[in-house]
Amino acid sequence: MRPFKDAKGRTWELEINVWLVRRVRDYLGLNLYNLVDSQARPLGELLNDPARLVDVLFLLCRDQADTLNVTDEAFGRSFSGDSLEDAADAFVAALLDFFPSRQGRATLQKVIDKSKAVEARMRELTEEKLESLTVESLAKKLSGLYGRAPDKSEPTPAPGPSES
């Protein structure tokens, strides 16, 4: 089982098994078994859709939610930011646990690790680019896109008779 906490501090235990794969397929039309292709594209799509991911998580944790009297709406409202990221990590770990080792669990882990490394590097590159930008360079780029702004010394023309 893979534990994670929601933003309300509740701990949820995540496990994926055949019964739960069936539950998710029946309710959402999503086959968890097919999430991992050679490049984990379907998994990436799910992880990039927080609403759908939380729907999946709720179905996987529904028995616990029922015990705690937590509705699907209350469950969904308890995820954002770090809690969503923690839940996504637990989901990926539980998904890997679900796959038999003969189906290349180690290879799937490598695909996921590589994806995380690429994501981290993209974040670094974005931060580097943002650090190198100055207000002046941004203003020049924007003025090229939107045309030249009038100089401060140029008066704004008064509206003509047809414009009033």
Q: Which tens digits make up the pLDDT trace of 53-102?
A: 999 999 999 999 999 999 999 999 999 999 999 999 999 999 988 987 76
Residue 137, pLDDT score:
78
Distance CA 154, CA 151 (A): 5
User: Is residue 14's pLDDT more than 80?
Assistant: yes
Residue 94, pLDDT score:
94
Residue 19, pLDDT score:
97
Domain ranges of the chain: 2-132
What's the sign of the alpha-carbon dihedral 23, 30, 100, 106? negative
Q: Position of tokens 């637990």? A: 90
pLDDT in tens, 32-46: 988 876 567 888 899
Global pTM value? 0.69
pLDDT bracket for residue 127 (50, 70, 90): confident
> Residue 4: beta bridge partners?
12
pLDDT bracket for residue 142 (50, 70, 90): confident
Phi, psi for residue 151 in degrees, rounded to 5: -65, 155
